[in-house]
Amino acid sequence: MLLLLFIGLVLFVRSPWGQDVIVTKITDYVSGKTNTKVAIDRLFLTFSGNLFLEGLYLEDKKGDTLVYSKALEANIGLSPLIFGNSLNLKSLKWEGLNANILREEGNEKFNFDFLVDAFAATDTVSAQPESEPMQINIGSVALNDFKIDYIDDYLGIDSRVHLGGFYAETNEIDLEKMRFTLDELMLSDTEIAYEQTKPFPASQDTTATALPFLAVDDLEVKSVKVNYEVVPDSMLADLAIGHFQLEMPKADLTKNDIEIERLALKGSDILVRSAKQPEMVEDTVTVARSEFEWPDLIVRAAEVDIQNNTLKYIAGSSKPEKGKFNPDAISIFDFTLLANSIFYRPKELNLELDKLAFKEKSGFRLNNLAFDANLGATAAEISQLELATGNSFLNGEIQLDYDTFDGLLDNPENSRIGLKIPELELALQDAFYFLPDLAQNEYIKNAANKSFTGTLNAKGTLAAIEIPDFEINWGENTSLTAQGQLNRVTRTDSLSFDFGTIATLSNRADILQFISEKDLGIAIPNTVLLEAAVKGSIDEIIADARLKIPEGIAKLTGNYSNKEQIAFDGTLMVDSLR
């Protein structure tokens, strides 16, 4: 009997006559309560028990469209919702939603508030005991072709969302524990615009909000555009996301513990525009440095895959310039960042950077930056370092040891350093992008005709760095080698040096690029070898030099002082000079 009754009820609900009765009752009721037009094409339960709503139309008080919904199908458990305290939404498919939410200038009410007022309870009831939070179980949610306009002239907000496709497959939603885990989340073919024309009023709400636990097995964003503008702050951000992917097993924001399996961004354009900041006035007041505190975070990232992106930053009306890097107008394209095994917790940082590369509008190119980095409470290391620009290249490793990180910041000269650069090629053209005035200097312009190549080894402390091996070559015929020591390199006013061995070799063709025989009235030898021992400081130098040319040998012993006045004292000896 119950089965026959149920079948009869389903047939009634699905029949044109039954649908007409149901729709008419609902629309007449809502329309009578709100005095607005309400229309529904179809409303029924499917044979699988799903609620199906087609062609919902609702006007606001001005006769404009408030909501239009093309088709909605929901598989929802009615008994737990009606008789219990849980929402069990197994699936939701919603297509073709148009919504217009408006609030006019000087009016605190939205254009939908009449609905709230019409159905708000007017009876005075006694206070009910606080109930348990509703249990929410959501399966899959699929949204397509949404157009939502939110225009709030009262607060100065104009936002619009044109959603192409959204799909979510949830695993757990616990409002009481603030725990949200998802199996899948996808957003595609969507445009979002937000404009704020007024400053927000200061918030008086000081209520602490519990931070959630988040997890998502696979989050993907494809073909999404976002335009964000805050007029009072002169801030604009324009994003065109080609493909973004996030696999995040854990983001426990209460404990600041984040674990990322994969983070990828490809084929995307990001523009940030802000007001140009005023020139900073140099402040001569010395401010004591506060004690360094490690950020209270734990972050793990197994893989970061960022490729072929464009990044732009514009301050005011500045524009990128060809041949000159402009920090107020940065335009980077072909930006790639590949990294893995990233780990951070207080007093520990590990990173394997496989590749960082980009091109800048000025013409500067970073072809590759790669290294393994380890930072700890008492040591830092960069190994397998490779740096290649459009013109320069180096590889090597750096080791830094210190007693405490605060000690490193307060007294860096006490830290112990080891530096090895077995291969170095330096082209001055790279410096011209950042210091274009250098290109106008005749000597530097000539020096840029050839690359500098060499090696460098250094060890010791920043208070006393021993340099057992330093070699630099300019082209094939000019070279400089040195062994010695640098002292107090972090303090330019007391910097000193002691190089027991310096040898430089060059030929006439190279020297003529910097010295004019006509102006000096001399003839440059075919080859020049200078061997010297030099020590002193910026203000005082003592040198013992030996100059060897094909015509003979000259020896010079002397000192130079620039303390109170410039002074020079020396002895010159000539041996077999022809």
Interval 255-312: pLDDT, tens: 999 999 999 999 999 999 998 776 655 555 555 656 778 889 999 999 999 999 999 9
Tell me the mean pLDDT in the region 37-41: 89
Q: What is the pLDDT of residue 31?
A: 81
pLDDT given at position 80: 59
> What is the pLDDT confidence band of residue 32, given thresholds at 50, 70 and 90?
confident
When pLDDT is cut at 50, 70 and 90, the band that residue 324 belongs to is very high
DSSP-H helix ranges across 398-459: 405-410, 429-432, 442-447
Per-residue tokens: 505: 């070799």
What's the CA gap between 373 and 480, in Å, rounded? 31
Task: State the average pLDDT over residues 94-115.
Answer: 91
Residue 356 near residue 389 (C-beta atoms within 8 A): no
Say how far apart CA 250 and CA 214 lie, in whole Å.
6
pLDDT at 86 over 80: no
Taking phi first (over 0 means left), then psi (-120 to 50 degrees means alpha), and beta for anything else, what does residue 439 get? alpha
Contact 61, 109 (CB under 8 A): no
Q: How many residues does the chain have?
A: 578
pLDDT at position 566: 74
Q: Give the pLDDT confidence of 299-322 residue by residue, as tens digits.
A: 999 999 999 999 999 998 899 989
More confident position, 217 or 489: 217
Residue 33 scores a pLDDT above 70: yes
**Low-confidence winner among 195-204, 310-319, 335-344, 427-436 (lowest mean pLDDT):** 195-204
Q: How confident is the model at residue 568 (pLDDT cuts 50, 70, 90)?
A: confident
The model's confidence at residue 173, banded by pLDDT at 50, 70 and 90, is confident
Helices (H), 84-198: 113-119
* Range in 7-21, 149-163, 358-372 the model is least confident about: 7-21
Return the pLDDT at 454.
95
Please state, in angstroms and rounded to a whole number, the distance separating the CA atoms of residues 359 and 331: 8
Which two structure tokens, joined as six digits, stand for 317?
Answer: 């009306």
Closest by CA position to 469, among listed 431, 516, 507, 419: 419
Amino acid at 179: R
Closest to 111 in 3D by CA, of 101, 123, 98: 101
Mean pLDDT of 108-114: 88
Whether 128 has a pLDDT exceeding 90, the answer reads no
Note the pLDDT of residue 491. 79
The pLDDT of residue 97 is above 60: yes
Q: What percent of the chain has pLDDT over 70?
A: 87
For residues 484 and 501, is the Cβ–Cβ distance under 8 A? yes
Mean pLDDT of 89-107: 92
Does position 123 have pLDDT exceeding 50, yes or no?
A: no
- Terminal-residue alpha carbon distance, the chain: 130
pLDDT at residue number 271: 96
Q: What is the pTM assigned to this prediction?
A: 0.85
In the predicted structure, residue 429 carries a pLDDT above the cut 80: yes
Checking if the pLDDT of 403 tops 60, the result is yes
- Please answer whether residues 530 and 503 qualify as being in contact, where contact means their C-beta atoms are separated by less than 8 angstroms: yes
Q: Does the structure show a pLDDT above 70 at 368?
A: yes
- Mean pLDDT for 221-239 is 95
The backbone region for 523, taken as left when phi is positive above 0, alpha when psi lies in -120 to 50, beta otherwise, is beta
Quote the Cα angle for 244-245-250, to 5°.
135
Query: Which has more confidence, 410 or 285?
Result: 410
Q: Is the pLDDT of residue 132 over 80?
A: no
For the four alpha carbons of 312, 313, 316 and 317, in that order, the dihedral sign comes to: negative
Q: Which residues of 218-257 are buried (b: 16+ CB within 10 A; e: fewer)?
A: bbbbbbbebbbbbeeeeebebbbbbbbbbbbebbbeeeee
Helices (runs of H) and strands (runs of E) counted in the chain: 9, 27
Q: Name which of 149, 152, 153, 151 is nearest 163 in CA terms.
A: 149
Cα 102-107-109 angle, rounded to 5 deg:
60
Residue 276 or residue 438, greater confidence: 438
pLDDT digit string, tens, across residues 490-533? 777 788 899 999 999 999 999 888 888 888 778 888 999 999 99
Q: What are phi and psi of 173, to 5 degrees?
A: -130, 110
What is the predicted pLDDT for the residue at 577? 58
Q: Of the ranges 70-79, 114-123, 460-469, which one carries the lowest mean pLDDT score?
A: 114-123
Tokens at 107, concatenated: 């009016």
Confidence tier at 16 by pLDDT (50, 70, 90): low
State the average pLDDT over residues 20-43: 81
Q: Provide the β-strand partners of residue 346.
A: none
- Rounded mean pLDDT of the chain? 86
